[in-house]
Structure 1
Amino acid sequence: MGLEQAPNKLSTKQAILAMVGISSGLMLSALDQTVIGNALPSIVADLDGFDLYAWVATGYLLMSIVTIPIFGRLGDYYGRKPFIVVACAVFTLASFACALAGNIYVLVIARALQGLGGGMLIGTAFASIPDLFPDNKERLKWQIFLSSAFSIVNALGAPLGGFLTDAFGWRSIFYLNIPLGCLAVFCAWQYIPWVRHTKSRDVSLDWLGALLIALALASFQLFIEQVPKSGLSPLVILLACVLLTATVCLVYRERRIPHPLLPPALFVAGSVRTLFVLSMLAGSVMFSLLYYTPLMFQGALGYSSQQAGILITPMVLSITLGAIINSKVIRHLHNPNWLPRGGFLLLAIACFGLAFSDLNTGFYLLLFFMLLAGCGLGFTLINLTLFTQNSVEKNHLGIATALLQSLRLVGGMLGTAITGSFIHFLYHQTLEKALINTGERAYLTELSDPNILLQAKQLAPSKLPLETAQQALLDALNLGWLALAVISLIALCVLWRVKPIILFK
């Protein structure tokens, strides 16, 4: 199956309109990531679902992880435009279902449907850029444009989510997606050119491989959540067996079939495999920060949803700042690897700063730590994409780009699941020990759910030792941030071994 000739060079007007269509779709998932992160504490408090706190996030990520490579491959066959249009429509309808959710289980299912739309978007939208702009310099310019649009909406999402949650309730954040979704459908349909890569109708997709990926990841997440609660129970042992079986079958299948969903050639020793690992590590840190810093700011430190949104804003806004600085500097570096190295170092410093925060840490110091984290991500994410696209053969360009995004979400899903279970376990252990020391163990049952800390300002004055619970939650979260700092340093060490990537010749 040979590729068709690349599309004619687009005029400036055509390029702008095409990228507006693509970025409009990505704005949906960008907005939802930060809006939902800041609203999560209020959502689980209202729907009484703290045990499923992580699933509201990871249900979305799990579905996205599976669908990104599938639709990345379908886009190679049929062109990416129709999938971008359908993805925007699916995401909009799923947002409406989220807004109407009456319990946490319905919300998790609706979030999974959002993940389906988000996976279609990510798997096709990012891969459209090398299709439309084969030249590296042009590609870098439009990658910066897309990353900037994505990050700006991320930045608006955090404070907007806090404001809407405080003023109109958490359901309003999902209603907000509906007009944006309609705009995205119109722009995508009207302006994105339909670029076909092959005339062949012989499409062979690895559906069984996709099922095995979903089974392995879902069982792994459930395994992580159940071990702290029930130890080596029959359920935990069953989940471990399912995980092992699905993983072995997946590896065996992907090596044997002619058109694997995960091409083994991309996972052999070399720069590409290392970049995939780095994408997972970056995703685990980024999503853990996005979903659990609101719990720290609201539950442990007592800030409102709106104040928490203001604290998160520097992180998502400085991703754009980091990307812009990156675009100006990278052209002049003999070894572009120095930029993502600096990014992981900034991430580690930010996580260390959060890990040593206490109940008296100043508002502006917290802002500074979030700013450092965002700049670190800005130096890291865009370069991982550029490095990958310049390290693979052209016939693997689309699937490699999709896999990089998918593996970032894998890292995010596993990171949030592990962080959530870790924090949940440590909170209970720390709280019980603190209440025993103060002779207030009788309050353990009432304080075992951190939701009560989110509602503290609405509660009538009581004898509950809320400060003790806040300190216990903060101690648990601080250990989580320390783990993320270590992950960032591990990523820095891994990246140090990658040979310099030549972007401009």
Structure 2
Amino acid sequence: MADLIKTADGKAGGTPATKAEPPAPPQRSVRVVVLALMIAMLLAMLDNLIVGTAMPTIVGDLGGLEHLSWVVTAYTLATAASTPIWGKLGDMYGRKGIFLTSIVIFLIGSVLSGMAQDMGQLIGFRAIQGLGAGGLMVGVMAIIGDLVPPRERGKYQGMMAGVMAIAMIGGPLVGGTITDHLGWRWSFYINLPLGAVALVMITAVLHLPKRERTKRNVDYLGAALLTIGITAIVLVTTWGGSEYDWNSAVIMELIAIGVAALAGFLFVETKAAEPIIPLHIFRNRNFTLMSVVGFMAGFVMFGAVLFLPLYQQSVQHASATNSGLLLLPMLLSMMVVSLIAGRVTTSTGKYKVFPVVGSILMVIGLFLLAQMDTGTSRFTSGLYMAVLGAGMGFLMQITMLVAQNSVELKDMGVASSSTTLFRTLGSSFGVAIMGALFTGKVQDEMAAHGGGAATAHSAQLDAASLAKLPVPVREAYEFAVSSGTHIAFLVGASVGLVAVVASLFVKEVPLRGAGPEAKPAPAVAEI
């Protein structure tokens, strides 16, 4: 395949290109490459969902129940901490080689995880998997940023949203089927054929434009400080209110370490020759605002994915086996809206309306979900989820599109990784804060109306345990869960207002690339 497009670099400080764009590559060639990238993206998104379904079986085989949370935490920590480093390495040494390396590391981690003989080994190997996963998502976004001009990128938004929907719906179903018929180890080995296909396709068909790169020393000190800071933040949001009280010495120490490490990181980045995250990209107003919107979208999205199935299983008596299908109204709405928004963006070059409308719909959807109680039907909750899904559909890809359009091509990797990192941190904060509020409310309601402390210790009874409870206690638990989801989604709606405000200040800067009236982009909006 011929070399793909080159978008002219702008001047330092965020001034975009003043040269005309070269002709776009053949759409068929681009689609083949994007298909390979979507397979790699599916790898990262499916893994946690498949493994989550297999976890009870894994614990039964390996033991170590007390370390169960670390199987997820190790993966999340490695992914979050490595995300900005992968992005910078791609900018410095070339995206294709770095991306292929991340796939190989992910597959090695998958094989080792499947071979684990105890919980300690599994936790360590999951960290290796997470290290590779950090490069998968960033690599996909940055390569698409190189491959397709922003003006044309909307055509592929529906495909990305579709991959997310497939992962969320199919992950639990595939995980359950594999675990029941092949054993839990195959929940890791299943990554190998998908990864092999992605490796072969990307090696064969991905040809990125040649650019001069200045080889400089990697900012090891900045990378170390950023890793420590992110690790401390994720541990605070993971452990706070569950493993340790929020005001415990451990949480306070982690907060202090995180603040000190991030402050040191900001100082180091102002002095580094090749900073991990060049701070000048945040002088661009649109990039900073999209980082805020992305953080809020992550906060809301993953909180909803966590609590909606719990509500429907506990209150509406839905089957846990088909938990992915419970999110279908939200995911389908998100996919369709994302596809429409992408097409409109490509044809008109306009995008500001989408983050504004998306943020507003997100807040409305969360407020509607906060109104659910023990009498809410599945149809009604499905409509509410569709509203939230529409809001997320306007936001999920547009945030990345605008962020990438706001920086020079040489910073495409760090722009993609920074946006991904903010969304990841948002999801971590969302799950922690909404989870703490939900759990506290359920426990309070059960203590007050559930017939004693025996049921107050748990905020997440499974279907079998719930069925064994006396009718008055079960009804009290259903009320407690609906009260918990009410407070969680109400807080989510309040947080979402920040995204609405941020979106209103986005400046409509013409997208680089092809279009019916493509012109060189003017100076970007600086803060």
TM-score (norm 1): 0.84
Note if 1:183 corresponds to 2:197. Answer: yes
Closer, same or farther: CA 118–174 of 1 in aligned 2, 3 Å: same
Match of 1:132 among 125, 147, 159: 147
Q: Deviations over 1:371-404 (max 9, x none)?
A: 2222211111221122122222333233212211
Q: Is the 1:349–1:485 Cα contact (8 Å) retained in structure 2?
A: yes
Q: Which has the higher helix share?
A: 1
Tell me which residue corresponds to 2:452: 441
Distance 1:335 1:398 in 2: 24
Match of 2:483 among 471, 475, 478: 475
Note if 1:297 corresponds to 2:331. Answer: no
Closer, same or farther: CA 334–269 of 1 in aligned 2, 3 Å: closer
Structure 1 residue 282: deviation in Å? 0.9
Q: Is the 2:170–2:324 Cα contact (8 Å) retained in structure 1?
A: no
Q: Deviations over 1:220-275 (max 9, x none)?
A: 34334336753533323322321222122122112222221121101236221111
Structure 1 residue 491: deviation in Å? 0.7
Tell me which residue corresponds to 2:377: 362
Tell me which residue corresponds to 1:484: 492
Letter in 2 for 1:207: Y
Distance 1:302 1:53 in 2: 26
Q: Is the 2:157–2:339 Cα contact (8 Å) retained in structure 1?
A: no
**Bigger Cα displacement from structure 2, 46-55 vs 80-89:** 46-55
Match of 2:136 among 115, 118, 121: 121
Tell me which residue corresponds to 2:505: 497
Q: Is the 2:152–2:346 Cα contact (8 Å) retained in structure 1?
A: no
Distance 2:114 2:476 in 1: 34
Q: Deviations over 1:111-140 (max 9, x none)?
A: 43332222111222211123223x443333
Q: Deviations over 1:48-67 (max 9, x none)?
A: 99988876555433322222
Distance 2:424 2:268 in 1: 23
Where 1:409 maps in the other structure, the secondary structure is helix
Note if 1:193 corresponds to 2:207. Answer: yes
Distance 2:102 2:254 in 1: 32
TM-score (norm 2): 0.81
Structure 1 residue 46: deviation in Å? 9.7
Q: Deviations over 1:70-127 (max 9, x none)?
A: 1222222332222332322333343455556677766554443332222111222211
Report matched runs for 1:353-392 at 5 Å.
353-392=368-407
Tell me which residue corresponds to 1:17: 32
Note if 1:340 corresponds to 2:355. Answer: yes
Structure 1 residue 216: deviation in Å? 2.0
Where 1:238 maps in the other structure, the secondary structure is helix
Tell me which residue corresponds to 1:157: 171
Distance 1:186 1:116 in 2: 21
Tell me which residue corresponds to 2:408: 393
Distance 2:374 2:114 in 1: 34
Report matched runs for 1:461-472 at 5 Å.
465-472=473-480
Distance 1:427 1:461 in 2: 16
Letter in 2 for 1:124: G
Distance 1:102 1:426 in 2: 39
**Bigger Cα displacement from structure 2, 149-158 vs 189-198:** 149-158
Distance 2:315 2:363 in 1: 22
Distance 2:357 2:235 in 1: 34
Report matched runs for 1:55-94 at 5 Å.
59-94=74-109
Q: Is the 1:21–1:187 Cα contact (8 Å) retained in structure 2?
A: yes
Closer, same or farther: CA 67–232 of 1 in aligned 2, 3 Å: closer
**Bigger Cα displacement from structure 2, 150-159 vs 407-416:** 150-159
Letter in 2 for 1:208: L
Distance 1:334 1:76 in 2: 26
Closer, same or farther: CA 170–415 of 1 in aligned 2, 3 Å: farther
What's the Cα RMSD here? Answer: 3.5
Letter in 2 for 1:292: F
Closer, same or farther: CA 460–355 of 1 in aligned 2, 3 Å: closer
Match of 2:229 among 216, 231, 234: 216
**Bigger Cα displacement from structure 2, 246-255 vs 176-185:** 176-185
Q: Is the 2:358–2:393 Cα contact (8 Å) retained in structure 1?
A: yes
Distance 2:271 2:105 in 1: 34
Closer, same or farther: CA 428–52 of 1 in aligned 2, 3 Å: farther
Closer, same or farther: CA 333–17 of 1 in aligned 2, 3 Å: closer
Aligned length: 493
Distance 2:253 2:142 in 1: 38
Match of 1:206 among 219, 232, 237: 219
